[in-house]
């Protein structure tokens, strides 16, 4: 299969300048499981858990694989709010005040129901992704925010940044959410960022220029400190 970009090179470039805490992840929405890609053998989990698994190998998921989290099923387009409103996890989130009924209609979602979502290392993706997801430190987010003026910073639920990147074409970072942090065991020092794959090449160039400027300032500050 011919790829539209050298995703391996872009993965290296992104890693060299931002130093993410895990390899960049390719996320691809499709009408069916792509040919040559195996479906996950895991029991149903939250979609954000696949972010952690996908840095090691490429696999496809379908709606029932995401059944471990009603919120993620909605943000990824597999379900509608009406489909999940009676589920136990939704009742708990609403009952605790973690989200309110007024917030729910404003949560970004993938609008077209996918047949499959594929996850895997960007460096080895067999298909052109829709979204690239990276896990960042505060320092790498600092560099990213300088490179992307007005960078969108989101909160709960963490998974909706994937929908923002896919549907709205915006780069969106997230401080994370407690639901996802517990399920994924993501480190307290980590944050996430979802990047429209179509904007990745330009972003790598922009971040590289920003990192070079930061290096000048860092050398100056280090000399003063010495």
Tens digits of residue pLDDT in 36-74: 999 998 889 999 999 999 999 999 999 999 999 999 999
Angle, nearest 10°, between helix axes 138-147 and 7-18? 110
pLDDT for 196:
98
Arithmetic mean of pLDDT, 92-110: 91
Contacts of 55 (CB under 8 A, 6+ apart): 22, 23, 25, 121
Q: Is the pLDDT of residue 141 over 60?
A: yes
Structural tokens at position 16: 């060299």
Question: How many Cα neighbours within 13 Å face the side chain of 92?
Answer: 7
Q: Is the pLDDT of residue 101 over 90?
A: no
Percentages of the chain per state (helix, strand, coil), in multiples of 5: 45, 15, 40
Query: Whole-angstrom Cα distance, residue 117 to residue 24?
Result: 16
pLDDT for 225:
87
Arithmetic mean of pLDDT, 119-135: 97
Percent of the chain scoring above 90 in pLDDT: 91
Tens digits of residue pLDDT in 213-225: 999 999 999 999 8
pLDDT for 105:
87
Residue 35 confidence class, pLDDT cut points 50, 70, 90: very high
Where in 63-142 does DSSP place strands (E)?
116-121, 131-136
Tens digits of residue pLDDT in 156-190: 999 999 999 999 999 999 999 999 999 999 999 99
Structural tokens at position 178: 């407690």
Question: How many Cα neighbours within 13 Å face the side chain of 112?
Answer: 10
Q: Considering the chain, what is the average pLDDT of its residues?
A: 95
pLDDT for 214:
93
List, edge to edge, every strand of the sheet that includes 152-154. 59-61, 116-121, 25-30, 131-136, 191-196, 172-174, 152-154
Return the CA Rg of the chain: 18
C-alpha torsion sign, points 25, 28, 32, 37? negative
Q: Is the pLDDT of residue 1 over 70?
A: no
CB-CB contact of 119 with 54 (8 Å): yes
pLDDT for 86:
87
Q: Is the pLDDT of residue 99 over 80?
A: yes
Residue 226 confidence class, pLDDT cut points 50, 70, 90: confident
pLDDT for 168:
97
pLDDT for 175:
95
Angle at 154 between CA 169 and CA 113, to 5 degrees: 50
């Amino acid at each position: 299969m011919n790829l539209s970009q050298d995703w391996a090179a872009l993965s290296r470039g992104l890693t060299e300048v931002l130093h993410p805490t895990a390899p960049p992840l390719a996320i691809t929405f499709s009408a069916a499981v792509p040919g040559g890609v195996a479906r996950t053998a895991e029991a149903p989990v939250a979609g954000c858990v696949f972010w952690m698994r996908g840095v090691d190998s490429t696999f496809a998921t379908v709606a029932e694989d995401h059944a471990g989290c009603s919120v993620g099923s909605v943000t990824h387009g597999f379900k509608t709010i009406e489909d999940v409103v009676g589920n136990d996890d939704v009742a708990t989130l609403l009952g605790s005040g973690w989200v309110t009924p007024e917030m729910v209609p404003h949560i970004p979602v993938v609008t077209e129901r996918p047949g499959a979502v594929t996850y895997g290392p960007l460096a080895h993706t067999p298909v052109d992704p829709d979204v690239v997801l990276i896990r960042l430190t505060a320092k790498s987010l600092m560099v990213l925010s300088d490179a992307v003026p007005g960078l969108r910073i989101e909160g709960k639920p963490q998974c909706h940044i994937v929908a923002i990147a896919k549907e709205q074409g915006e780069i969106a970072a997230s401080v994370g959410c407690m639901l996802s942090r517990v399920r994924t065991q993501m480190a307290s020092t980590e944050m996430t960022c979802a990047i429209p794959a179509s904007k990745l090449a330009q972003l790598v160039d922009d971040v590289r220029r920003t990192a070079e400027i930061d290096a000048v300032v860092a050398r100056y500050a280090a000399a003063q400190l010495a």
